[in-house]
């Protein structure tokens, strides 16, 4: 799709400018990571990203991965969501794609949930002395599969 290609192109340009401005090296690994994230990653952590890179024939070291994620978060191309002290996940930054994250506390699955009413309310919100870059809301709970399993186990 052309729109997707434009978004990806814009992201690459932004990253290039950022790396130049911060005197960072423009390594092929860094751009491969960006390319992959903007192609087909939705919510992911370092482990899933590492596996996906390996599958695409481009194994990247942990150090490079962490380092690149830090840069991508810093130049606001991706957002890091912290679930608790030890767990976090990432996703692409976008102000017009507002959604809720339904996070299952049991299996840690993350499901997007769109609510147009909430979206309108949030996007229309003018926040003083603050410029929002990305919107997301995390709702913790139990997914239907886990709720069903737990209920079954209780009966035993």
Which one of 2-10, 18-26, 68-76, 145-153 is the stretch in contact with Zn ion (CB under 5 A)?
Answer: 145-153
Q: Considering only residues 102-131, where is the footprint of Zn ion by CB under 5 A?
A: 104, 106-107
Q: Nearest distance from residue 105's CB to Zn ion, in Å?
A: 8
| Count of beta carbons in the 10 Å neighbourhood of residue 80 | 14
Q: Nearest distance from residue 144's CB to Zn ion, in Å?
A: 8
* Interface pick for Zn ion out of 34, 37, 77, 143 (rule CB under 5 A): 143
Residue 14 or 81: the one with the smaller Cβ distance to Zn ion is 81
Residue 50-89 contact track with Zn ion, rule CB under 5 A, x = bound? ----------------------------------------
* Interface pick for Zn ion out of 91, 93, 98, 135 (rule CB under 5 A): 91
Q: In the block, which residue shows the tokens 């299996």?
A: 107
Region of 3 on the Ramachandran plot (φ > 0 left; ψ -120 to 50 alpha; else beta): alpha
Q: Distance between CA atoms of 85 and 66, rounded to whole angstroms?
A: 17
Query: From residue 94, how far is each of 28, 36, 53, 91, 99 by CA, in Å?
Result: 24, 17, 23, 9, 10
Kindly give, in sequence order, each residue whose CB lies less than 8 Å from that of residue 17, ignoring residues fewer than 6 positions away. Answer: none
Q: Nearest distance from residue 83's CB to Zn ion, in Å?
A: 12
Rg from Cα positions in the chain: 18
**Residues in contact with Zn ion by the rule CB under 5 A:** 91, 104, 106-107, 143, 146
């Amino acid at each position: 799709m052309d729109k997707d290609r434009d978004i990806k192109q814009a992201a690459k340009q932004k990253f290039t400018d950022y790396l130049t401005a911060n005197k960072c090296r423009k390594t092929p690994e860094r751009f491969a990571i960006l390319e992959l994230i903007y192609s087909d990653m939705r919510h992911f952590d370092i482990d899933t990203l590492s596996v996906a890179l390996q599958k695409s024939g481009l194994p990247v070291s942990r150090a490079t991965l962490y380092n690149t994620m830090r840069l991508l978060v810093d130049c606001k191309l991706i957002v890091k969501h912290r679930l608790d002290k030890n767990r976090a996940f990432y996703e692409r930054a976008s102000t017009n794609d507002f959604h809720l994250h339904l996070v299952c506390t049991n299996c840690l699955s993350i499901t997007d949930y769109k609510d147009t009413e909430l979206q309108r309310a949030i996007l229309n919100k003018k926040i003083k002395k603050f410029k929002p870059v990305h919107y997301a809301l995390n709702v913790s709970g139990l997914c239907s599969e886990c709720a069903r399993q737990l209920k079954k186990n209780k009966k035993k």
